[in-house]
Amino acid sequence: MKSTKFLSVSLLPLAIAATPMAFGQADTNTEAETKTLDTVTVTATRTEKDLQEVPVSVAVITGDTLDTAGAITFADIGFSAGNFVANESANNPNIGGVSIRGIQGRAGVYVDDVLISDSAAVNSTLVDVERVEILRGPQGATFGANTIAGAVNTITRKPSFEWEGTADATLGSFGFEQYRAGISGPIMEDQAAFKLTGFMRESDGPDTTIETNKDVNGEDEWGLRGAVLLTPSEDLEILLNADYSEVDIKDGFIFDFLSETPGSLVQPLAAGLFGTQPFELNTDPNDRRVWDTTVPNQLGREIFGYSANVTWDVGDMTLTSITAYRGVDTLSIVDEDRLPIYLAGNEVLTEQTQFTQEFRLNGSFNNIDWLVGAFYLDDERESQGTLEFSTLALIASNVPAQFAGIGGVEATTDISDFQDLAAFGSVGFNFMDDRLNVTVGGRVTQSTLNQTQGESIGTFGGRTVLNTQGRPDESTLDFFEYPEIEETRFDPSASVTYALTDDINIFAAYGTGFRRPAYNSRDVCQGADATVDCFIEEEEATNFEVGIKSEWFDNTLRLNVVAYALAYDNLQRSQGVLNEDDLFTGATVTTNVDTTSEGLEIEALWQATDEFTWELNAGYQNATYDNSEDNNNVPVGNADGSGTILIDARGETLPGAPEYTLSTAGTYDRPIRDNLNLLARIEYQYRDDFVTNLGPNPALQVDSQENLNATLGIYQNSEKGFSLMLRGRNILDNQYFSNASSVAGIGQFIALSDPATYTAELRVKF
């Protein structure tokens, strides 16, 4: 096991890089005698409202809470809300899939109301965060397509018209270093202000190689975020944002070896090439040693975006325009066999850009609140992949016959372009002196998809010519153009809210959502597998929920409880299928299945004393494949990775759907002398066991997880000053599978979660 290196000054890539410190002040309001809970304003319904009045199951994580807890990236909020999972591979910074109420990969992720369409751009360092809103359940009427499970909206802090700035530094376990600095202030008094934040972080990684004892799976990241706020009049506000970041994994995402496939080619290859087995088989999943690879693995991302948010108050109405352009480029180079013998290497280059435009107009008339809007999305993607096979027959005459004559490049190209055009609106009626609200709404969306796939001409082992940039020459590819998909969909919504008292609201809500249709792989569509349809139907979800939102004991305790029932039809379920020869690659087949999910969510926040705050986020969900006949005889990978089998999936738990989730924390914040406070926080997180995909393979089973995190430090309780924080995350050092893969003819490989890490952070406000 690699030793932990603790360094004395630290800086986590926190969710609020370079913002004014507010340790111990999250969600509270200091009064002369007693602290009470702050009012939390959210935009879950596309207009600003008190959290307690919104008829939606919403979990809110403030930037101050993220700061105090020492959160790092988007993945760090994955334990922070009930029935919410955001998994990150320890060897790959991309999010494996945000899961809400047991539905994985179907939540829309937004920053300042701008959609982050590509999952590769989701798990970046969260910068200047004011709050994160996690909306559970279909949000089709308010947020549109692909929010069928829910939505996550990160709201960033605006520039300040007063000069302020921060600088901090952090060092910690596994060579972790981070440095951040930010400044904000006026450009023109009361009319223009700016904000500029920069950060960089790096780490050596928690894993080492077996032969060379080299640190691997570390990260390098740096980024900039800037904003300009213009207020030419009291009625007009223009907010301009820009961000850029780069992320590179050091010798990236090398997986641990878990088990050999029966009849594995590992031993015959070793004997054929070297006359013996030249490397150690490490099958202990808790041993952080990994094999040295013959191809240096790489994983890099460039993420960029620009947006303009214009808000104009016109009489009793407010007009909002949000224009945004975003993109992400990724490059991955992988030693595909993950062995110290070079068999195959894979390189994938992906480029994605998107343009979005949204208009909203809302207002009130007598006892009626109304909202109308329009939305447009254009998303373009191109992915180019090359899989190179070594010619082992030239190295040794007694290489197994399966590899004889193999050598060359297999190439694929996938080009897609989809657009969404939508109109939406809602109208709310207020009765009984505004104690009763009835709101109905809906959204009409037209989705269009155009897709083309190209692959090497010929069969397995055929050659593809590469151009001078190392990309596949299109003249050596065979292209297949799918028929255009155009789908129009209407999603209605309705809610009823009633205030029992000034502090207790009850509500009932109905919502729907959808995901656009798609196509299977070209092999399926060209008739290679007659048992699977080429066309994949659109997904549809219908959700009912009831809840109570309440405040007690003179606004010192907030308690919100929501129960829901979700029917999810035509879930587009993908499963990797190995070819019948178990050589290197197989197809990914997608089928439609029906699922259901029922559950409960609880949020509580208690200002127990002026110095102690306690919070609780808990969830229960029963998310399963339903009992329809379509869920019988589903193809899945075999337990040893050697092929496929058919299983009866009826009643089986959905991927990424732990039955119970819990996060609870206590924060003690006490003045110890003039202008100096002591801060202590302890946080316990629990997630029930779950599966990452359907099937008996042990690499797909994720055991229940327990994390214990702690913070201890001091800070100056003033607009200017310093803070020093010591933090430990996962201090119980519980490690679990976070990702898994199978390589045909070789075996099973897994990635582990991060081990215990410790940091110390010094921050200065000026």
| DSSP-based three-state secondary structure for 113 | coil
Look at 287-291, 433-437, 611-615 and tell me which has the smallest mean pLDDT: 287-291
pLDDT in tens, 486-522: 999 999 999 999 999 999 999 999 999 888 888 887 7
Q: What is the pLDDT of residue 344?
A: 66
pLDDT in tens, 249-267: 766 555 555 555 554 555 5
| DSSP-based three-state secondary structure for 474 | helix
**Average pLDDT across the chain, whole number:** 80
Q: What is the pLDDT of residue 206?
A: 85
Return the HEC string of 272-324: HHHCCCCCCCCCCCCCCEECCCCCCCEEEEEEEEEEEEEEEEECCEEEEEEEE
Q: What is the pLDDT of residue 369?
A: 94
Q: What is the pLDDT of residue 264?
A: 53
Residue among 147, 82, 108, 138 nearest 509 (CA): 138
Q: Is 268 exposed, middle or buried (0-12, 13-18, 19+ CB in 10 A)?
A: middle
CB 623 within 8 A of CB 656: no
- CA end-to-end span of the chain: 42
- pLDDT confidence tier of residue 312, bands split at 50, 70 and 90: very high
CB 137 within 8 A of CB 722: no
Asked whether the whole model's pTM tops 0.95, one would answer: no
Assess whether pLDDT exceeds 80 at residue 576: no
Q: What are phi and psi of 462, to 5 degrees?
A: -65, 155
Assess whether pLDDT exceeds 60 at residue 279: no
pLDDT in tens, 436-481: 999 999 999 999 999 998 876 544 444 444 555 555 566 667 788 8
User: E strands of 482-611, at which residues?
Assistant: 485-499, 504-515, 518-519, 535-536, 539-552, 557-578, 586-607
Highest mean pLDDT among 23-37, 354-368, 646-660: 354-368
Assess whether pLDDT exceeds 90 at residue 175: yes
How far from chain centre, in Å, is Cα 652? 24
Residue 637 vs residue 415, higher pLDDT? 415
Q: What are phi and psi of 401, to 5 degrees?
A: -60, -25
What single DSSP character describes residue 538?
Answer: P
